[in-house]
Amino acid sequence: MACLTPTQITDNYLSASVGKATSPLWRLFVLGVAAGVLIGLGAVSSSTAAHALTDTGMTRLVSGAVFPIGLIMVILLGTELFTGNALMVTAAIARRITWGQLLRNWVVVYAGNFVGAVALAACMAFFGQLDIGGGDLAVYTAKVAANKVGLSWGNAFVLGIFCNIMVCVAVYLCNTGQDTAGRAVGAYLPIFGFVVAGFEHCVANMYYIPAGIFAAANPAYAAAIADAGINVALLNWGSFITANLVPVTLGNILGGVLVGVIMYAAHATRSKAD
């Protein structure tokens, strides 16, 4: 079956944004929690697959090959992901929704994503999943978290921009498909690319960094993490939020808005009044 055109997918997303903007708060939050869990499960799977590798390129390749299952599940199940919802700015520009409705969606979905991802991180860290490899997965998890928190503010911001450019392109490519396979492939390829490139995704980091914080706090893993030379001083909630979550979130917003505005300006159907 033929793909939908850029104009069709842009118009379809504008219409879908109205439903997202007017959805009840409880529904947005529940679907936000679900998306946080699903993105987190993609992160769990990719970390598990890559944790024993020593070559950086191969680690990123394997992680990139596995991580996209999270976004594929999010899209096909119709859950609410903050980074993808950055595209809703086009509906506000087109006056299909108000700016207040846009912010309402972003705040509620972001909170839901955070709750879902952090809850999953706690389950993985305290109920045995990080035992894999005799605790090597816990050490790897803490290392990934410390590396992310150790980024400079500017680096985290810019890597966040490019990450969400690719995520939002994935959302559009997914929506060109008219069957499950086409939608899955459309979502898969750009997400594979952003993970290999090492870009920063705020919702994924809501899993990765808390998982590292929890792993370092778990007595079962603490000694091995310290012996690995990981800077555990970085693994705290204040550093997570100020050094990573804030700049990455702002970068993700900017990247998503750029994609949305370009697609709207170039492809959206507009009346003469527009």
The 10s digit of each residue's pLDDT in 198-235 is: 999 999 999 999 999 999 999 999 999 999 999 999 99
How much is the pLDDT for 148?
98
Structure tokens at 25: 């708060």
pLDDT score for 272? 44
The pLDDT assigned to 273 comes to 40
> Per the structure block, which two tokens stand in for 92?
């506000």
Q: What is the pLDDT of residue 220?
A: 97
% of residues, the chain, pLDDT over 70: 98
What is the rounded average pLDDT of the residues 145-165?
98
Q: Which tokens sit at 28? A: 């947005």
Q: What is the number of residues in the chain?
A: 274
- d(C-alpha 65, C-alpha 70), whole Å: 11
Mean of per-residue pLDDT scores for the chain = 96
What would the pLDDT profile of 59-101 be if each residue is shown by its tens digit? Answer: 999 999 999 999 999 999 999 999 999 999 999 999 999 999 9
Among 185, 184, 144, 192, residue whose Cα is nearest residue 166: 192
| Rg from Cα positions in the chain | 19
Rounded to two decimals, what is the model's pTM? 0.96
What pLDDT sits at residue 1? 54
**Closest by alpha carbon to 121, among 209, 216, 203, 221?**
209
Rounded to an integer, what distance in angstroms lies between the CA atom of residue 216 and that of residue 125? Answer: 9
